[in-house]
Structure 1
Amino acid sequence: MTDARGSAGRDGETNARHTPGTPCWVSLMVHGPAATHDFYGALFGWEFQPGPQQLGPYARALLDGHEVAGIGQLPPDRQLPIAWTPYFASDDVNRTSETVRLCGGTLGVGPLDAGEAGRLAIGSDPSGAVFGVWQAAAHLGTAVTGVPGTPAWNELMTYETAGVAKFYETVFGFELEPDVSADVDYVTLRLDGRPVAGIHGVGNTLPRDRGPHWVTYFEVADADESLERLVALGGHVLGPVQDMSYGRVATVADPEGARFALLHSAR
């Protein structure tokens, strides 16, 4: 996330169907959903209600009654990385999934129906980073943005941007805006001229135990206070709080190791 990015959302409710390619939902699969609900409920003020069960026990996180994210339970025999996964909107998940395969990505789940909510697929890009594709029916995705406790930005941490940026451009129709700085490998993904996500090439500084992965930024009212609360709840601080042109940010992890970022946006 660089100074030109800012929050991808706008204040208030989002009741319209998302433009194809837009990050429209974030989801987390964990081993202990009850403890994870307690953690994020205390950190962000979320409450939970049951969601589609096609991938096992699953709950939607609500903020003041609005759906903002999902948390599900991993099957006990699956040893997968615990990670927040962004879902990108599609008007035809079957066609998008085929494009993923043709462009060198892989499909791990689906396409399949999630009850009356919609249709989904979960895949990975050629570098191995996992993402989702969502074709909305009754469930349009994140229903409110721009307020504390909501997703504000999604950023892919990878070795280098060039090849993988072309993948996302072809699959989702993004416009690519490379950073002009010679010492930063960063590409902003835009739709209709609007920044919606980013790709950050970090070379050998990418965590060896994680590999390329997406990071979700969650808006908070106070980054320092949220950081203290996170530690008290059993979370982990992965880097110092930093003041950037777009706001105050800290990279953290929840008790099961899912990485994410706390962001107090500059207004």
Structure 2
Amino acid sequence: MPTRDSAPLGAPCWVDLQTSGVDRAAAFYDAMFGWTHETSGEEYGGYVMFFKDAKPVAGMMPGEPGNPYVDVWTTYLATADADATAKAVADSGGQVMMEPMTVPAAGRMAMFMDPSGGVVGAWQPAEHKGFGVMGEHGAPAWFELVSKNYDAALPFYRDVFGWNLESLSDTDEFRYTTGKFDDNVLAGIFDASTAMPAEVPSHWQMFVQVDNTDDAVAKLVELGGTVLRDPWDSEHGRMANVADPNGAQFMIVGPSAAG
């Protein structure tokens, strides 16, 4: 996918990380993916912007003391009206975790919990349009809700964010639905009700594109990251589940080992 100026409404448009170690995380992601970073002033809470080839790809902020929601990547979906989205969330069985707020000049944001327990953000862009590039080495490539209540998640994202849902698989062994936006499939919902331990909640995860998954995993380990699941081949590429040195999880995806 080429560079882009904006995201389709309802589609993933941004990710950011709440981290327990800003300096450690910044050094890791810069070395891991060739990112560079800039830190904003105090009026923005020390928010960090990551860039890949001078295009924005992700953000980061220090975790607040006492907040258990730390060392977690959050996915944001594009909206034209954060306040209207917040009302739709409440009307559709979700929970408004953070009321819409304005980030001066950049845009307007809010945080929600969907009916399956997944935490997701909404972003109404002003000057900050979101990702400047996707699907290239070192850039976000895919976003997925790993859901413990698949049947509740599907209508929520359809009704609140306008997803055009397409079932990829609907068997007892594997249920997966994708969200299509302007003819592009940009996100998925996986039925994890039987695939994850009961104590693991629904959650969004991001996938970062790499040229070679095994090489990327080896580099991650050298940089102090952790491999949570060794690389495996799928019909969508070779993947690995990993964590940065502070414990924030994400996925790596590259070409399959067979080519």
CA deviation vs aligned residue, 1:15-48 (integer Å, no higher than 9, x gap): 2x32210111111111111111011111111111
Match of 2:236 among 246, 249, 266: 246
| Aligned equivalents of 2:169, 2:77: Cα separation in 1 | 26
Question: How much does 1:209 deviate?
Answer: 4.8
- In structure 2, the partner of 1:3 is none
Contact 2:77 / 2:123 at 8 angstroms: preserved in 1?
Answer: yes
CA deviation vs aligned residue, 1:178-218 (integer Å, no higher than 9, x gap): 23352211111112342120011122332455411001000
Match of 1:214 among 187, 198, 204: 204
Contact 2:116 / 2:149 at 8 angstroms: preserved in 1?
Answer: no
Contact 1:206 / 1:212 at 8 angstroms: preserved in 2?
Answer: no
Question: Structure 1 96/83 Cα, relative in aligned 2: closer, same or farther at 3 Å?
Answer: same
User: Runs of 5+ in structure 1 lacking a partner?
Assistant: 1-9
Identity %: 35
Contact 1:111 / 1:120 at 8 angstroms: preserved in 2?
Answer: yes
Asked if residue 148 in structure 1 is aligned to residue 142 in structure 2, the reply is: no
Contact 2:116 / 2:150 at 8 angstroms: preserved in 1?
Answer: no
CA deviation vs aligned residue, 1:121-153 (integer Å, no higher than 9, x gap): 011111221111000000000001221111000
Contact 1:219 / 1:265 at 8 angstroms: preserved in 2?
Answer: no
Farther off after superposition, 246-255 or 201-210: 201-210
Question: How much does 1:52 deviate?
Answer: 7.4
Asked if residue 108 in structure 1 is aligned to residue 68 in structure 2, the reply is: no
- Match of 2:68, as an amino acid? Q
- In structure 1, the partner of 2:116 is 127
- Match of 1:120, as an amino acid? M
Map of 1:1-267 to 2, 5 A cutoff?
10-11=1-2, 13-15=3-5, 17-51=6-40, 56-182=45-171, 183-265=173-255
Contact 2:150 / 2:193 at 8 angstroms: preserved in 1?
Answer: no
Give the match's secondary structure for 1:116: coil
Question: Structure 1 77/54 Cα, relative in aligned 2: closer, same or farther at 3 Å?
Answer: farther
CA deviation vs aligned residue, 1:150-197 (integer Å, no higher than 9, x gap): 100000111242211111111111111123352211111112342120
Contact 2:14 / 2:58 at 8 angstroms: preserved in 1?
Answer: yes
| Aligned equivalents of 2:239, 2:222: Cα separation in 1 | 18
Contact 2:73 / 2:248 at 8 angstroms: preserved in 1?
Answer: yes
Farther off after superposition, 164-173 or 102-111: 102-111
| Aligned equivalents of 1:170, 1:19: Cα separation in 2 | 16
Contact 1:56 / 1:74 at 8 angstroms: preserved in 2?
Answer: no
Question: How much does 1:109 deviate?
Answer: 1.8
Give the match's secondary structure for 1:187: strand
Contact 1:56 / 1:75 at 8 angstroms: preserved in 2?
Answer: no
Contact 1:251 / 1:261 at 8 angstroms: preserved in 2?
Answer: yes
Question: Structure 1 69/225 Cα, relative in aligned 2: closer, same or farther at 3 Å?
Answer: same
Question: How much does 1:74 deviate?
Answer: 1.1
User: Runs of 5+ in structure 2 lacking a partner?
Assistant: none
Contact 2:242 / 2:252 at 8 angstroms: preserved in 1?
Answer: yes
- Figure out how many residues of one structure are paired with residues of the other and give that number: 256
| Aligned equivalents of 2:199, 2:152: Cα separation in 1 | 22
- In structure 2, the partner of 1:4 is none
Question: Structure 1 236/209 Cα, relative in aligned 2: closer, same or farther at 3 Å?
Answer: farther
Contact 2:108 / 2:123 at 8 angstroms: preserved in 1?
Answer: yes
Farther off after superposition, 220-229 or 253-262: 253-262
Question: Structure 1 209/38 Cα, relative in aligned 2: closer, same or farther at 3 Å?
Answer: farther
| Aligned equivalents of 2:181, 2:255: Cα separation in 1 | 21
